[in-house]
Structure 1
């Protein structure tokens, strides 16, 4: 294995990560946790009240967060009428808190797995039950980087031809690697 997933049988996966790969992946997931933000309430808050917490009704202004938490109604990037905005706001109000919690849990699952690796990296085995969390977390990272890089279907191939002096090159390399991780994880889960 060279930093890509392979099947470990039964829907589980394994990946060999060196210390640099593990560090990059962990750093990206920690940054994702910071971007998503903390959940509602604090440790001493009423857990029953947290079940009924309502989310925001407006879409996030940050393009990366808007990509992670898109409106359920209307077309992305197009203006909508008041009725469509109201329906999207109502849907967001009741779903975003749970969606943010799931994205946080996915990112934390990856961080915890990576924390179990030795200082020099090593072979990481992902149980079948955790593979979906990994897949979700990798997808969220890739969506965020794609948003930051303003990637569109038309210009994605142009990313492969960026000169080494382009300041976006490290992010592009991470974006491409995350895509390969997603693809190989899906293959490992089905093989």
Structure 2
């Protein structure tokens, strides 16, 4: 079980994590929460309907990580349409789609990151040997989504665009300042992959 998820009887998954691994995942999840930011109801905490009826932004985020987490729905940055009129239409559709969906997407990503933090905080006292994290099927799905978001965020910072870029990461010299981030990216990928396999019927 060390370093990878295994299925639990009756559903869910378990993984053995040491103190450093717990600290890394928790820190990354907290950073993701800070990056995503608070929900619209934070501006009016006394109004329970504020978040329900708040409209989201219509422009893509300026931060490249947030653009990766919340991409345009109708535009293709790699192959934009040749027709300028079609490009304008796509941009308008993307803005409208973003306005009505981004708040919910952000709330979902916040909830997933919080679920990761809370499940780590609920672990039995962690000694030098670490602890075994056991997740219910619902928690497993939240972890899977959060791990994916964390990898997208780190991959964006590392400017990973395709599989060729990932292959280059394996050959980085140890003195490269990106090495710790690369190691986290690859490790989270392994966790994600084993968690996916435990959840497959």
Instruction: Tell me if TM exceeds 0.5.
Output: yes
Q: CA deviation at 1:83?
A: 1.7
Q: CA deviation at 1:82?
A: 2.0
**What pairs with 1:155-166 in structure 2 (closer than 5 Å)?**
155-166=165-176
Match of 1:169 in 2: 179
Q: CA deviation at 1:77?
A: 4.8
Match of 1:33 in 2: 33
- 2: CA distance, partners of 1:175 / 1:19: 18
Match of 1:4 in 2: 4
Greater mean alpha carbon deviation, residues 98-107 or residues 125-134: 125-134
Q: Does 1:108 align with 2:114?
A: yes
| Structure 1: tracts of 5 or more residues without a match | none
Alpha-carbon displacement from aligned partner over 1:124-172 (angstroms, at most 9, x marks no partner): 1000111110000000000000000001222211101110000000000
Normalising by structure 2, we get a TM-score of 0.90
- 2: CA distance, partners of 1:111 / 1:57: 30
Q: CA deviation at 1:119?
A: 3.4
The CA RMSD over aligned residues, in Å, is: 1.4
Q: Does 1:138 align with 2:139?
A: no
- 2: CA distance, partners of 1:44 / 1:155: 44
- What SS does structure 1 have at the residue aligned with 2:49? helix
Q: Deviating runs (4+, > 3 A) in structure 1? A: 77-80
- What SS does structure 2 have at the residue aligned with 1:171? helix
Match of 2:13 in 1: 13
Greater mean alpha carbon deviation, residues 167-176 or residues 40-49: 40-49
- 1: CA distance, partners of 2:2 / 2:172: 24
Normalising by structure 1, we get a TM-score of 0.95
| Structure 2: tracts of 5 or more residues without a match | 82-86
